[in-house]
Amino acid sequence: MDLNLAGRSVLVTGSSKGIGLGIARRFAAEGCTLWLAARSAERLEAAAAAIRQASPVEVRTLAVDLAEPEARARLVEACPGVDILVNNAGAIPGGAIEEVDDRAWRTAWDLKVFGYIDLARAYLARMKARRRGVIVNVIGLAGERVDFNYVAGSMGNASLMAMTRALGGTSPDFGVRVVGVNPGPVDTDRIVYLAKKRAASQFGDESRWREAFAKMPFGRPATVDEVAAAVVFLASDLSAYTSGTIVTIDGGMANRAQLA
């Protein structure tokens, strides 16, 4: 299906691996010009090279730590006129309120919560001036299925859901759309690491990590491409009447009374 995205410019943060890289690959396959931003210059260049090999598009990279306000400002200055912003950078540590110390909490929110806010603010202003553009916030299931043992992530994600709905409810007045995606568990290096950690704790054997997936919907986590495809569709003209909406991709997990 042609999503009519060819020639548009897209900035994807946190795009050197995982969901961000999957999103970048999908946009490249649609013929978009890409800006990739993440901390590791080496990983970014490897990601860009792989994308260029698969799709004949222009890919530029910028290695920045988006937890720092100055780095966010540099990113906006380097690529001021993108058509589509995908906020994706950030991971918030797990733990109950007494287990996440002040420094870890603030560092995680500086990257994901305030990083998303600052970039949305900067690019929304530019998109409003041009009367076109799309912002997609990749958030996370914990914002709607809050978890005592993931309190910093639950609170951070809930705030980003509120921002997405608040901005997206009014942004069509200026020709701009703001939408969100809430992935549940996704088959990335991070979930494998967490599954191994859980298996070591429960069974004393991290090699049993795949058993953690057995009770998930469909017996598995989502694939990166399942999330990436939704992001690209939401950014496309086929979803031109969608704003202020958050699509949850969790196999129905958020609506289960209990995870068996």
The SS3 call for residue 38 is: strand
Helices vs. strands in the chain: H and E counts, helices first: 8, 7
H or E element that contains 247? strand 246-249
Encoding tokens for residue 112? 């994901």
* Alpha helix positions (H), 131-251: 151-170, 189-203, 224-235
For the chain, the 3-state helix, strand and coil shares in percent, each to the nearest 5, are: 50, 15, 30
Return the active site residues: 150
- List Cβ neighbours of 141 (8 Å cut-off, separation of 6 or more): 157, 182, 183, 184, 185, 248, 250, 253, 254
Tally Cβ neighbours within 10 Å of residue 240: 11
H or E element that contains 87? strand 84-87
The SS3 call for residue 179 is: strand
CA distance linking residue 77 with residue 126, whole number of Å: 12
Exposed e or buried b for every residue in 128-148, given b needs 16+ CB within 10 A?
Answer: eeeeebbbbbbbbbbbbbeee
CA distance linking residue 55 with residue 199, whole number of Å: 39
